[in-house]
């Protein structure tokens, strides 16, 4: 008797080959049959008539590090069909991490990934320092699979202490880092993540940015012993520097025989040649045999914010950014102070020209303001957009929310061909991060609705392959990403006519009731992880915790 029998399926197997009809049988966590018509009995039978049955989606760029410790279902990523996540991206991971460095690392997470105190403080128990003990802490909690990266920043802190954020490593320290990285890879790390752009809570460069190339080269040599991934955040705001990073990653890939990936790669009207120039160089390096995978996200860039936190929206406005970092009362006092208010407005609107007129009010105590642009309200008040932003926030005790929609990466006619490109790795969702700026869930639904169904930039089979079979192959994740007998039974059943992402909504479901933006899934019926149903549209989340640390 099978555990699960999915009948009458339109099977899209993750290879990119044309879909075919048949049944899928699951037993003891593995796929037993894929295709054919089976008359055998099963404990649970799912009629998938009119539905697609595909491998579970793999999200290669998330920051679920903290969330997985108090929410092993990574809600709501799982209900969108995501059955495996890579976390520990962008140089930040919760292991290897000495107890003394926890507060510092948490502050970096909060700064870079915009996660509140409540996501860490009291939300889980720190029971580990080394990567092996961390992986043990995850076991048994997970409803979906994880491929954890070791972060370069905590790795440096482990070996160098406070000096990690001050200087290059000595040869002895580099050798010590190699040894620690080896223990991480032995314990199940999928690779190493590093960053060239991120800053800590004092706006100082994170530890990974103090590494000289020799250090990265030495760490890549250890990755080469295992053939594991190097993930990098390049200086994505500059095409020239990103192209140089592509060359550097290609050298490391060729020298050490490792895959490399970098993220994000964005399209925008302001930098219309960015994607084409970077992909041209990636193509040249791939032709030499290098493995360099740019990650491109599917969704447009929308940023929401209130003055409660210093949103990434203000990173290019240091005067604003520093004031928004103050505690609540001090912030209100500063915003009320006429000279400070004037200097903020001056910085944002040099010469009286405002770049913020198209921002809209997203939430306000005054319902009549919701949905209106700041330009519109400014005109009514005889004010300016930046002044309205300050005044509304002060009037509402910082409770007003604003949104700037479609800041870039928003033209399907430009993003669609990039997503379809063989050189592009679909990813960069940032799942679980920036939780009060935008919802990082539903990028897969958006891929199918916008780029398969509406725009026809990818076939259904191509899109599935891009987020399943390709992802597993790029990352060297064994046993997943394809529907083949003997492989792990990670399966998603969905309606190709309706799969989409829901509206972005504010939810108060963080530990301590903290707010974040989420999206529900549309058109997903059933999500199966290692042979167990973990979510279904009919019954919601199940108590099953079948998630594993993936094998490479």
Residues at the contact surface with Zn ion, assessed by CB under 5 A: 89-90, 430
Residues in Cβ contact with 423 at an 8 Å cutoff, skipping those fewer than 6 apart = 279, 282, 283, 286, 293, 294
Q: Which of 21, 25, 23, 22 is nearest to 4 (CA)?
A: 25
Choice between 260 and 364, CB closer to Zn ion:
260
Choice between 89 and 274, CB closer to Zn ion:
89
Q: Which of 4, 1, 2 is nearest to 528 (CA)?
A: 4
CA atoms within 13 Å, Cβ hemisphere of 342: 3
Choice between 4 and 90, CB closer to Zn ion:
90
Tokens, residue 537: 């549209």
Q: Which of 385, 428, 464, 442 is nearest to 15 (CA)?
A: 464
Q: CA–CA separation, 115 vs 109, rounded Å?
A: 7
Residues in Cβ contact with 347 at an 8 Å cutoff, skipping those fewer than 6 apart = 317, 319, 320
Could you tell me the smallest distance in angstroms from the CB atom of residue 151 to Zn ion?
Answer: 11
Could you tell me the smallest distance in angstroms from the CB atom of residue 193 to Zn ion?
Answer: 8
Choice between 91 and 364, CB closer to Zn ion:
91
Could you tell me the smallest distance in angstroms from the CB atom of residue 454 to Zn ion?
Answer: 28
* Cβ-contact 443, 456 below 8 angstroms: no
Choice between 92 and 138, CB closer to Zn ion:
92
Could you tell me the smallest distance in angstroms from the CB atom of residue 111 to Zn ion?
Answer: 13
Could you tell me the smallest distance in angstroms from the CB atom of residue 172 to Zn ion?
Answer: 31
Give 334-337's long-range contacts (Cβ < 8 A, gap of 24+): 335/307, 335/390, 335/393, 335/394, 336/394
Could you tell me the smallest distance in angstroms from the CB atom of residue 493 to Zn ion?
Answer: 29
Choice between 89 and 437, CB closer to Zn ion:
89
Cα 132 to Cα 45, 487, 548, distances in angstroms: 38, 25, 14
Could you tell me the smallest distance in angstroms from the CB atom of residue 233 to Zn ion?
Answer: 7
* Cβ-contact 56, 464 below 8 angstroms: no
Per-residue DSSP letter, 18: P
Choice between 59 and 548, CB closer to Zn ion:
59
Choice between 393 and 436, CB closer to Zn ion:
436
Could you tell me the smallest distance in angstroms from the CB atom of residue 19 to Zn ion?
Answer: 33
Q: φ and ψ at 169, to 5 degrees?
A: -85, 150
Select the residue whose beta carbon is closest to Zn ion and give its number: 90
């Amino acid at each position: 008797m099978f555990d699960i029998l999915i009948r009458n399926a339109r099977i899209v197997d993750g290879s990119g080959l044309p879909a075919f009809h048949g049944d899928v049988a699951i037993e003891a966590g593995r796929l037993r049959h894929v295709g054919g018509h089976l008359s055998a009995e099963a404990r649970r039978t799912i009629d998938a008539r009119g539905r697609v049955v595909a491998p579970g989606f793999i999200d290669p760029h998330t920051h679920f590090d903290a969330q997985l410790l108090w929410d092993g279902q990574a809600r709501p990523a799982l209900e969108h069909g995501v059955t495996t996540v890579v976390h520990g991206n962008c140089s930040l991971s919760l292991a290897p991490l000495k107890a003394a460095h926890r507060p510092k690392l948490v502050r970096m997470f909060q700064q870079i990934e915009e996660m509140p105190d409540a996501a860490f403080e009291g939300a889980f128990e720190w029971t580990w320092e080394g990567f092996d003990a961390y992986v043990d802490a995850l076991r048994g909690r997970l409803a979906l699979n994880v491929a954890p990266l070791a972060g370069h920043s905590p790795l440096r802190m482990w070996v160098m202490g406070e000096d990690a954020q001050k200087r290059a490593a000595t040869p002895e320290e580099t050798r010590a880092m190699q040894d620690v990285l080896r223990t991480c890879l032995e314990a199940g790390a999928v690779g190493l993540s590093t960053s060239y752009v991120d800053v800590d809570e004092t706006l100082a460069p994170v530890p990974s940015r103090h590494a000289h190339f020799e250090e990265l080269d030495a760490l890549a040599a250890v990755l080469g012993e295992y053939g594991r991934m190097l993930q990098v955040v390049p200086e994505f705001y500059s095409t020239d520097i990103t192209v140089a990073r592509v060359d550097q990653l290609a050298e490391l890939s060729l020298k050490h025989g490792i895959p490399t990936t970098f993220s994000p790669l964005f399209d925008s009207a302001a930098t219309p040649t960015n994607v084409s120039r970077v992909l041209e160089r990636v193509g040249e390096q791939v032709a030499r045999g290098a493995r360099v995978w740019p990650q491109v996200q599917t969704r447009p860039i929308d940023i929401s914010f209130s003055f409660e936190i210093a949103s990434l929206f203000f990173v290019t406005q240091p005067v604003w950014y520093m004031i928004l970092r103050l505690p609540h009362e001090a912030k209100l006092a500063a915003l009320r102070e006429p000279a400070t208010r004037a200097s903020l407005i001056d910085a944002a609107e040099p010469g009286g020209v405002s770049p913020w007129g198209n921002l809209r009010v997203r939430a306000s105590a005054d319902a009549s303001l919701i949905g209106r642009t700041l330009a519109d309200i400014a005109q009514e008040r005889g004010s300016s957009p930046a002044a309205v932003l300050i005044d509304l926030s002060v009037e509402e005790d910082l409770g007003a929310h604003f949104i700037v929609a479609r800041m870039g990466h928003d033209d399907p006619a430009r993003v669609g061909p990039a997503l379809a490109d063989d050189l592009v790795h679909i990813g960069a969702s940032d799942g679980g991060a920036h939780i009060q700026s935008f919802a990082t869930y539903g990028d897969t639904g958006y891929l199918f609705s916008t780029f398969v169904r509406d725009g026809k930039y990818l076939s259904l089979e191509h899109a599935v392959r891009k987020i399943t079979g390709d992802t597993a192959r790029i990352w060297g994740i064994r046993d997943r990403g394809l529907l083949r007998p003997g492989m792990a039974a990670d399966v998603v059943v969905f309606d190709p006519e309706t799969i989409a992402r829901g509206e972005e909504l504010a939810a108060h479901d963080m530990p301590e009731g903290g707010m974040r933006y989420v999206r529900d899934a549309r058109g997903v019926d059933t999500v199966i992880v290692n042979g167990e149903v973990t979510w279904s549209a009919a019954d919601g989340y199940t108590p099953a915790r079948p998630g594993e640390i993936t094998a490479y």
